[in-house]
Structure 1
Amino acid sequence: MFTHVMVGSNDLQLSRRFYDATFAALGGQAGEMDERGRLIYRHDGGRLMITKPIDGKPATAANGGTIGILAASRAHVQAWHDAGALNGGTSIETPPTLRPDGVFVAYLRDPDGNKLTARCQTAA
């Protein structure tokens, strides 16, 4: 259904450090800058794009918005959370945790305040 998700950033280099680290923790690739100055992460046909707002105003985080990222295992979720916290992100809600429905989940805010979650269905 989705081709991409785009979020705004006030500091693309800080965002790049954060997203490169968190996606590397999941086995992903570093981002690439396109000809328009947007930072792009590609996986399985989808894209996460980070950009300075085109209207020239400061980027702000979506109130109530969360970007969910699929992880292969609990170890990947934990590594994602740790990498994000060490690279400009902020841990939020609870520490990485196993929920009663069998989902292992962690939450972070990126350097611009966007809310992200990494999760895996397996308890492995």
Structure 2
Amino acid sequence: MIGYVTLGVSDMAKAKAFYTDLLGDQGVKVLLDMGRIAFIGKNMSSPMLAVCVPYNEQPNHPGNGNMVAIPAGSKESVDALYKKAIELGATCDGEPGQRIPDQFYGAYVKDPDGNKLAFFVFG
């Protein structure tokens, strides 16, 4: 259903390094780099994350209420992604924990540009 989600960033090199380092263990890499925008994912036919300098060349602004949720596969992977994101310069926006008993375990961070991410597992 989703082809890709785009996040505005202020520093392309820093954003590409953050996301490829964070998600590299899941087989993620920069798939297409067009200078102002780069597509990051496993392959071009799977959902991707794009990072870009805004087209109008104005400063990027994270959206209030916008969030990209990244499936982690397990509670341990949620914890590991959260820890790695913090080590890579993200800030905590909700430590790992059970949010809905027996249904949803998640953690929340803001990337170096302030974009909100969730790492989660259902069940």
Shorter chain as normaliser: what TM range? 0.7 to 0.9
Give the superposition deviation at 1:66. 1.0
Unaligned runs of 5+ in 2: none
| Partner amino acid, structure 2, of 1:87 | L
Aligned twin of 1:20: 20
8 A contact 1:22–1:81 mirrored in 2: no
Aligned twin of 2:57: 56
Q: How many residues align?
A: 120
- Secondary structure of the 1:50 match is strand
Indicate the structure whose relative CO is greater, using CA pairs within 8 Å and at least 6 residues apart.
Answer: 1
When normalised by structure 1's length, the TM-score is: 0.86
Aligned twin of 2:108: 107
8 A contact 1:17–1:87 mirrored in 2: no
How many Å separate the matches in 2 of 1:52 and 1:79? 28
When normalised by structure 2's length, the TM-score is: 0.87
Aligned twin of 2:36: 37
> Percent identity among equivalent residues?
28
| Partner amino acid, structure 2, of 1:39 | A
Name the structure where strand makes up a greater proportion of residues.
2
Unaligned runs of 5+ in 1: none
